[in-house]
Structure 1
Amino acid sequence: MFKDNESIERRFNITAEIVIMNKQGIALAADSAITSGRDDIKKVYNTANKLFSLTEDQAVGVMVYGSASFMEIPWEVIIKCYREYLGTRTFSTLPQYMEHFLEFLRNDDRCNNPEMEEVSIYNTFYEILIQIVRKVEDDINESEEEATDNTVAKWMDKYIDEDIEEFQQKDEILLELNYDDFKEKYRPIIEEIEEDLISFSLTELLKEKLIKLAYEAARTNSFSTGSSGLVFAGFGDKDLFPHLLNYRLEGFILGQLKFTKEIEKQISYTNQQKDGTAAIVPFAQREMIDSFMGGMEPNMQDAIFNIIQKVLTEYPTQIQKHVEDISLSENHVTSLEKLGKDVYQTIKEAVWEYQQDYYINPLLGIVRSLPKEDLADMAETLINLTSFKRRVSRATESVGLPVDVAFITKGDGFVWRKRKNFVNHELNARL
């Protein structure tokens, strides 16, 4: 029914990065690991550059994570080309720098290349279709009857309809795309993915639905693992305190750049204002940093809450099973289920408040008063901690040393504290 498929071969900054801010400035740290290959065969190199100064004149730093390239161009190349485009211009605020960078991506023919747009569609649609294939394979394995092309097609049709409906219900439409233009340009690449994954012949109706599915995914707030995270941090000319922006970028589709803003934080005058006077913001692989901040490993916390939810959900059934001479009416069961949901929500809120009161807020209280040297050391240490956890676990060592560390202040601009360098200055005096 389906072909043995191999994962897409890519180069990923499957990484750990962090930004720590207070009124004095911003510490940025990033590891050096880059993962190349497929899910089944991976090679990790600890040579990647993920942290950059925007230019020598601006107090702005840039970090990238996720895919190591954008439209098949390495991010390091793009950022260094942008420096020429920016020149000596400065802007009043950090968002103006970000918008100017996006303008560069849109206007530069090397980045906005129509011939490379298929990459965005391939990344997004391949992942969606392979998830559908895996669901149908589960149905085949669980079915007591022999699966035929017709039954498999029905299962596929059901999952395709569900996904289309899910995308159509999303509130945020990022791109206004013409369906006929989308279909005409990207049908060949969609059919190529179908042929890579599916061995039986699809009906024309199913093929049309798959194009519709790719279209809905392309225009909504849905990003593939082949997308990239982009972090701008620093000061505009009129910014008194540090500012952080985090965007997700997929690529160009029918000439439109698909992106969305994920995080924005700016240090405030007082701790009572929106983002307060200190912030710790991790990116990509953040479980160890979240553990340090919140007092509990996130996966363990999720597992505990899932157990609690399961126990409370099954509580009415267990009462009837284990308590003699009791028969709950439908209204009783409904009331107990509602009670279980209320108790579960109360537990979650109580744990969250405890973490805020005894872990996160006290930690941010310390960060508010840390001098810039200690902020930089803290950022480096948290990345080292993540790297160490990866090294002693069975997971791929996708966070690797050395750690690049920089600090940005209003007066001194972007300053490297630690930086790997492949250049031997004794052999390259001109550098």
Structure 2
Amino acid sequence: MTAIVAVLNKHAVAIAADSAVTMGDTHKVVNSANKIFTLSKYHPVAVMTYSSAAFMGVPWDIIIKEYRKELGKDSFDKLKDYVKDFITFLHKRHFFCDEQTQRDYLMLQLDSFVKSCREELSFQNGVAQEKQTEKDLRQKFVSYKKYLENSEKCTEFKKYTFADFKKYAYATIVEYSEKEKLNLSDDLCEAFFYYLSANIETSISTGLVFVGYGEKEIYPSLYPLNISLAVDKRLRYSYDKRSIVEISDRGCATSIIPFAQIDVTQTIVRGINPTFQDILYKVINNTASNVLKLIAEQLTKNDSTKVMAPVIQRLDTSPLTKQAIELIRQEMFSRYTEPLLQTVIGLDKEDMANMAESFISLTSLVRRMQPGEETVGGPVDVAVISKGDGFIWINRKHYFKPELNASFFQNYFRNEQYGKNSI
């Protein structure tokens, strides 16, 4: 797991990331991962990664550095143009893997989908189910299809039809069904298609957070992207639209955006732990229902009022509870979030870097005190990106001693394969 954060204002953007990574399906955690990369050697743009450290078996650091090499001295007017060009690059390099590897990862995602359906069936309505029949699984696939068919689709799957997918993947799904002894190929194929098409996170997805400046931008931007795999020459990716930040004069002037393990940062920014907030909202809903039930019980004790008891108990309390929840959110924002953001507006680069590092360090401390794996930890890498100074490392770990490897830094800009607009 991971914790990364970006702090933005008009001066710059400070980014920070921990170094912890879980090795495969084991419970072993090592603290040596790099999660912040410059996207260009010459321009103020960078990318942070979280969740899966590889794209269909290829480490993301290799892919990002290959893109940086091809980009050379080229640049784009806006940060979002770098994101589009990066996606084009993945297509151009055939997703860094062959067709068989893509099908293998499709099978891996299919297996993950079926297992998640089985897990949901095995514990329905808060009660463990001992047996699962093929009929139960078929109904689960049908319900998934109904739930997802009208949901927002991933960018490159909006014009991709079920007929197209079936032509490409049906043989793979039949192979999987035979191996698992399931006579559900058609239902599974349809449900899996809508699962792949929907704009939802999957078990093998990676978060890429692009941050920095385009040539014509004087304030920083942040564009988060979620990428999982390639299917039939289509890249399964989507933008996290809720987390896109564009600092401007008339719009957003500052922002604090955490990714991956976000609970500690959100607790500081919002003034309340997200888990406790959910509990509070649940208690409000339950209390409203219990009050109606209590009133109805009292009414039934009197012959003249018991006819009103069913009417009272059927009253819809959702508008009232929604209003109460919204009032709590507004109060928390005005008391905690807004004053903090007003402070961030005026921070200089050094203080922004310290703030970003502190969010990660506090998350690491909380994980260390909790039972279970320390999924956030190790050295904290910190960088600041500004329009005038470009990308500046504040803290950075090396797997080698910099003082013994002067040639690495001397060669950083040598033998660069410049882009098409370079001399």
Fold shared, TM-score > 0.5 on shorter chain:
yes
Aligned-residue offset at 1:121: 2.6
Aligned-residue offset at 1:416: 0.3
What's 2:263 paired with? 287
CA distance 1:78–1:141, shift in 2 (3 Å)? closer
Distance in structure 2 (CA, Å) of the matches to 1:67 and 1:298: 24
Aligned-residue offset at 1:220: 2.2
What's 2:292 paired with? 316
Query: Is the 8 Å Cα contact of residues 293 and 360 (structure 1) preserved in structure 2?
Result: yes
Aligned-residue offset at 1:303: 0.9
**2:8 is aligned with 1:30:** no
Give the counterpart of 2:232 among 242, 254, 258: 254
Deviations 1:112-146 (A, max 9, x none): 642222355345433331122123334699699x9
Give the counterpart of 1:416 among 390, 393, 404: 393
In structure 2, give the amino acid aligned to 1:278.
Answer: T
Higher mean C-alpha displacement, 79-88 vs 152-161: 152-161
What's 2:196 paired with? 218
Distance in structure 2 (CA, Å) of the matches to 1:129 and 1:312: 38
What's 1:8 paired with? none
Distance in structure 1 (CA, Å) of the matches to 2:128 and 2:114: 21
SS at match of 1:169: coil
Query: Is the 8 Å Cα contact of residues 41 and 72 (structure 2) preserved in structure 1?
Result: no
Query: Is the 8 Å Cα contact of residues 120 and 253 (structure 1) preserved in structure 2?
Result: no
In structure 2, give the amino acid aligned to 1:42.
Answer: H
CA distance 1:360–1:188, shift in 2 (3 Å)? same
**2:338 is aligned with 1:361:** yes
**2:30 is aligned with 1:45:** yes
What's 2:151 paired with? 170
Runs of 4+ in 1 over 6 A off after TM superposition: 139-144
Aligned-residue offset at 1:274: 2.9
Query: Is the 8 Å Cα contact of residues 154 and 236 (structure 2) preserved in structure 1?
Result: no
Aligned-residue offset at 1:429: 4.1
Higher mean C-alpha displacement, 375-384 vs 113-122: 113-122
CA distance 1:417–1:161, shift in 2 (3 Å)? same
Distance in structure 2 (CA, Å) of the matches to 1:302 and 1:73: 38
SS at match of 1:406: strand
Q: Which runs of 5+ in 1 are unaligned?
A: 1-13
Distance in structure 1 (CA, Å) of the matches to 2:123 and 2:80: 46
Aligned-residue offset at 1:392: 0.5
Give the counterpart of 1:80 among 44, 65, 89: 65
What's 2:382 paired with? 405
SS at match of 2:135: helix
The sequence identity of aligned pairs, in percent, is 30
CA distance 1:330–1:112, shift in 2 (3 Å)? farther
What's 1:56 paired with? 41
**2:120 is aligned with 1:135:** yes
Query: Is the 8 Å Cα contact of residues 44 and 397 (structure 1) preserved in structure 2?
Result: yes
**2:252 is aligned with 1:266:** no
Query: Is the 8 Å Cα contact of residues 122 and 128 (structure 2) preserved in structure 1?
Result: no
Give the counterpart of 2:206 among 218, 221, 228: 228
Deviations 1:12-59 (A, max 9, x none): xx1000000111101000000111232xx4111100000011222110
What's 1:241 paired with? 219
What's 2:165 paired with? 182
Distance in structure 2 (CA, Å) of the matches to 1:415 and 1:26: 11
**2:290 is aligned with 1:304:** no
What's 1:7 paired with? none
Aligned-residue offset at 1:314: 3.7
In structure 1, give the amino acid aligned to 2:255.
Answer: A
Q: Which runs of 5+ in 2 are unaligned?
A: 409-423
Aligned-residue offset at 1:296: 0.8
Aligned-residue offset at 1:92: 1.1
CA distance 1:291–1:207, shift in 2 (3 Å)? same
Distance in structure 2 (CA, Å) of the matches to 1:241 and 1:139: 49
Higher mean C-alpha displacement, 289-298 vs 206-215: 206-215
Higher mean C-alpha displacement, 56-65 vs 176-185: 176-185
CA distance 1:140–1:392, shift in 2 (3 Å)? closer
Query: Is the 8 Å Cα contact of residues 41 and 68 (structure 2) preserved in structure 1?
Result: no
Distance in structure 1 (CA, Å) of the matches to 2:223 and 2:122: 41
Aligned-residue offset at 1:109: 2.8
Between the two proteins, the alignment pairs up a number of residues equal to: 400
Give the structure-2-normalised TM-score.
0.88
Aligned-residue offset at 1:110: 5.1
What's 1:208 paired with? 186
Distance in structure 2 (CA, Å) of the matches to 1:380 and 1:359: 20
Distance in structure 1 (CA, Å) of the matches to 2:176 and 2:201: 18
Distance in structure 1 (CA, Å) of the matches to 2:230 and 2:151: 20
In structure 2, give the amino acid aligned to 1:158.
Answer: Q
SS at match of 1:352: helix
Query: Is the 8 Å Cα contact of residues 285 and 321 (structure 2) preserved in structure 1?
Result: yes
CA distance 1:280–1:395, shift in 2 (3 Å)? same
What's 2:415 paired with? none
Aligned-residue offset at 1:189: 4.2
Distance in structure 1 (CA, Å) of the matches to 2:218 and 2:121: 55
Deviations 1:229-253 (A, max 9, x none): 1111111111011111111112211
In structure 2, give the amino acid aligned to 1:160.
Answer: F
